[in-house]
Amino acid sequence: FRKKQIPEEELVGKILAGNKTALGRAITLVESHQQDHLERAQKVIEACLPHAQRSVRIGITGVPGVGKSTFIEAFGTYLVSKGKKVAVLAVDPSSSVTHGSIMGDKTRMEKLVTMENAFIRPSPSGDSLGGVAQKTRESIVLCEAAGFDVLLIETVGVGQSETTVHSMTDFFLLLKLAGAGDELQGIKRGIIEMADLIVINKADGENQKAARDARLEFKRALNLYPPRESRWQPQVLLSSAINHQGIPEVWEEIMNYLELVQANGFFEANRHEQNKFWMLQTINEHLKKSFYQHPEIKKELQVQLKAIEQKKTSPFAAAKHLIKLWNEV
The secondary structure element, H or E, covering residue 254 is helix 247-263
262 sits near its own copies (criterion: CB under 8 A): no
189 sits near its own copies (criterion: CB under 8 A): yes
233/253 Cα distance (integer angstroms): 11
Instruction: Enumerate long-range contacts of 48-53, CB under 8 Å, 24 or more apart.
Output: 48/12, 48/15, 48/16, 48/141, 48/142, 48/144, 48/145, 49/141, 49/145, 51/16, 51/145, 52/141, 52/144, 52/145, 53/144, 53/145, 53/147, 53/149
CB closer to its own copies, 111 vs 288: 288
134 sits near its own copies (criterion: CB under 8 A): yes
* Residue 70: CB minimum distance to its own copies, A: 29
Task: Candidates 110-118, 186-194, 246-254, 258-266: pick the segment binding its own copies (CB under 8 A).
Answer: 186-194
Tell me the residue type at 298.
K
276 sits near its own copies (criterion: CB under 8 A): yes
* Residue 283: CB minimum distance to its own copies, A: 5
- State which of residues 8, 73, 138, 170 lies at the interface with its own copies (CB under 8 A): 138
Longest dimension (CA), the chain: 70
CB closer to its own copies, 73 vs 138: 138
33 sits near its own copies (criterion: CB under 8 A): no
286 sits near its own copies (criterion: CB under 8 A): yes
Beta-carbon count within 10 A of 115 CB: 17
Roughly how many angstroms between the first and final C-alpha of the chain, as a whole number? 44
* Residue 184: CB minimum distance to its own copies, A: 8
322 sits near its own copies (criterion: CB under 8 A): yes
CB closer to its own copies, 71 vs 266: 266
Sign, Cα dihedral of 81, 262, 55, 92: negative
169/274 Cα distance (integer angstroms): 9
275 sits near its own copies (criterion: CB under 8 A): yes
Site string for its own copies, 85-124 (x = CB under 8 A): ----------------------------------------
- State which of residues 35, 181, 311, 328 lies at the interface with its own copies (CB under 8 A): 311
**Radius of gyration for the alpha carbons in the chain, expressed in angstroms and rounded:** 22
Give one DSSP letter per residue of 7-61, joined into a string: PHHHHHHHHHTT-HHHHHHHHHHHH---HHHHHHHHHHHHHHGGG----EEEEEE
52/70 Cα distance (integer angstroms): 28
Pairing type for strands 86-91 and 171-177 reads unpaired
- State which of residues 111, 272, 298, 299 lies at the interface with its own copies (CB under 8 A): 272
CB closer to its own copies, 115 vs 297: 297
283 sits near its own copies (criterion: CB under 8 A): yes
Map the footprint of its own copies across residues 34-73, applying CB under 8 A: 42, 45-46, 49-50, 52
Sequence-ordered strand ranges (E) for 220-302: 235-238
1 sits near its own copies (criterion: CB under 8 A): no
CB closer to its own copies, 187 vs 197: 187
Task: Candidates 71-79, 96-104, 185-193, 200-208: pick the segment binding its own copies (CB under 8 A).
Answer: 185-193
Tell me the residue type at 125.
S
Q: Could you tell me how many residues of this chain bind its own copies (CB under 8 A)?
A: 45
316/328 Cα distance (integer angstroms): 19
Given the rule CB under 8 A, which residues bind its own copies?
Answer: 42, 45-46, 49-50, 52, 134, 137-138, 141, 185-186, 188-189, 221, 224, 272, 275-276, 278-280, 282-284, 286-288, 291, 304-305, 308-309, 311-320, 322-323
